[in-house]
Amino acid sequence: MVSVSEYRFSAQTAIAIIVANMIGTGVFVSLGFQLLEIQSPLVLMILWLVGGITALCGALTYAELGANLPRSGGEYNFLSQIYHPAIGFISGWISVTVGFAAPTALVAMTFAAYMGEAIGIPSAILASTLVIVLALFHSISRRSSSITQTVFTVIKVALICTFVVGVFLFAEDPQPVSLAAAPGDWSLLFTGTFAVALIYVNYAYTGWNAATYVLGELQDGQRRLPLILVVGTVIVLILYLLLNYAFLYAAPMEALAGQPEIGAIAATHAFGPAIGSIMGIVLALLFISTVSAMTMAGPRVLQMIGEDFYVFRTLAITNRHGVPIVAIVFQAALAITFILTATFESVLLFTGFVLTLNTFFVILGVFVLRWKGMADPQLYSTWGYPVTPLVYLAITCWMLAFILLSRPQEGLAGLAIISVGGLVYFAARGGTIRSNLDK
């Protein structure tokens, strides 16, 4: 029997981390803004399908990187070993400032906004309490983390499936949703409007790489990672297509356009005002697993940084079960700071740009990995290589270029965050304690 101290995350837990990380606030708010410019059900479904295919291409490529570089830390680990420790550190810096703490705060506040209205507790207190409680659960042991994450993710998927089935079976005034192409639909796919909408979709799919953050703590992680990444991403792709079709089926487009509370509006139109009000509590329950997953994944990046840099060594402290308790507390404290000050809003404006740029260089790294002779084909080779990674690179490059051209403030702010990370690296460079970082 495996002792608690030797307990490692199962494939099911890793899939739960991916699903919970991906299904956050994005899918429940994006459609409203997309409908302001796109009124075609076909184009909207293609939009979410393209986003899912992009994520799947990324997942297939990450599988090869993870199989050959089996250490926790996600992009920090990959970029450090493929390119240079400075690149990896900047990626870790992005994870700390943008990737986890700020989205954790946003999702927690969204949870509080839905739940607080029903139970009458101030949003800031409720959001902070959620972050603290989940941090405590994940600080106990890997087993408690695994159970917590799996339970809340199962609840999330079950509630989403129940909602979708309920809409299709019991909607009071179902809307006609035709997937037949209307005049102008195909040309719309190559416009700036589609690109902007795809940026929101890409953000909603963020998290398909979450299992790589705990790769070093997975049971047989090198062998199972490809299946974990693909299964997790495909589950979310299917759920996203079903959810968005259900939203369009449940309520008129004009009622959804420009509105952030898509789930509540769709439920109200489908089942009546009474059920619609209950939907707020249901959505709140969905967000718990997302905060939980980020509380699991993010601190592992901090832990790796602590192991590699002497000046940050405190972040690498673990309890007797191997859980990075200091890193968990640090991320929770940072998230609570964002909640109480709301300064995270300025960061979230360019989150999509920075995170996409981060994964862009990781996907590009699969070519560098093979060029350097670091890839072992017996472990795993990217399915569809080189087309698969090139599809991801082409789509993300298009989005990044569009952001820089049409929204230079967000793009330049993202580049500024990256530059600051580089300065912090060189300031901490004298404290490097792992000699292999220089290889």
Q: What is the pLDDT of residues 156-180, one digit of tens each?
A: 889 889 889 999 998 888 898 888 8
What is the pLDDT averaged over residues 426-436? 58
What is the pLDDT averaged over residues 127-136? 93
Residue 432, classed as helix, strand or coil, is strand
Q: pTM, whole model, 2 decimals?
A: 0.81
Residue 120, classed as helix, strand or coil, is coil
Hey, what are 320's tokens? 């007797």
Percent above pLDDT 90 for the chain: 25
Determine the Cα–Cα distance for residues 154 and 14; give it in Å rounded to an integer.
Answer: 13
State which amino acid sits at residue 438. Answer: D
Place of tokens 């060594």: 313
Percent above pLDDT 70 for the chain: 92
Which CATH code of 3.10.180.10, 1.20.1740.10, 3.40.640.10, 2.40.50.140 fits the domain covering 7-431?
Answer: 1.20.1740.10
Q: What is the greatest pairwise CA distance in the chain?
A: 66
Q: Which residue has the higher pLDDT, 275 or 293?
A: 293
State which amino acid sits at residue 143. Answer: R
Model pLDDT, residue 435? 41
Torsion sign over Cα 136, 301, 98, 23: negative
Other CB atoms within a 10 A radius of the CB of residue 228 amount to 27
Model pLDDT, residue 396? 87
- Judged against a pLDDT cut of 80, whether residue 319 lies above it is answered with yes
What is the pLDDT averaged over residues 254-261? 82
Strand partners, 9: 218
Model pLDDT, residue 343? 47
Model pLDDT, residue 6? 64
What is the pLDDT averaged over residues 212-227? 82
The backbone torsions φ and ψ at residue 218, rounded to the nearest 5 degrees and listed phi first, read: -90, 145
Reported as a pLDDT band with limits 50, 70 and 90, residue 201 is confident
Determine the Cα–Cα distance for residues 345 and 291; give it in Å rounded to an integer.
Answer: 17
What is the pLDDT averaged over residues 137-141? 87
Residue 123, classed as helix, strand or coil, is helix
Other CB atoms within a 10 A radius of the CB of residue 371 amount to 11
Model pLDDT, residue 1? 39
Hey, what are 273's tokens? 């005002």
State which amino acid sits at residue 404. Answer: L
- Judged against a pLDDT cut of 70, whether residue 438 lies above it is answered with no
State which amino acid sits at residue 75. Answer: E
- In a 13 Å sphere around the CA of 36, the CA atoms on its Cβ side amount to 10
> How much of the chain is in helix, strand and coil states, percent to nearest 5?
80, 0, 20
Model pLDDT, residue 71? 83
Cβ(202)–Cβ(51) below 8 Å: yes
Cβ(352)–Cβ(202) below 8 Å: yes
Q: Shortest CA distance to 188 belongs to which of 393, 28, 45?
A: 45
- Listed in sequence order, the residues at least 6 apart from 433 whose beta carbon sits closer than 8 Å to its beta carbon are 307, 308, 309, 310, 313
State which amino acid sits at residue 387. Answer: V
Other CB atoms within a 10 A radius of the CB of residue 387 amount to 11
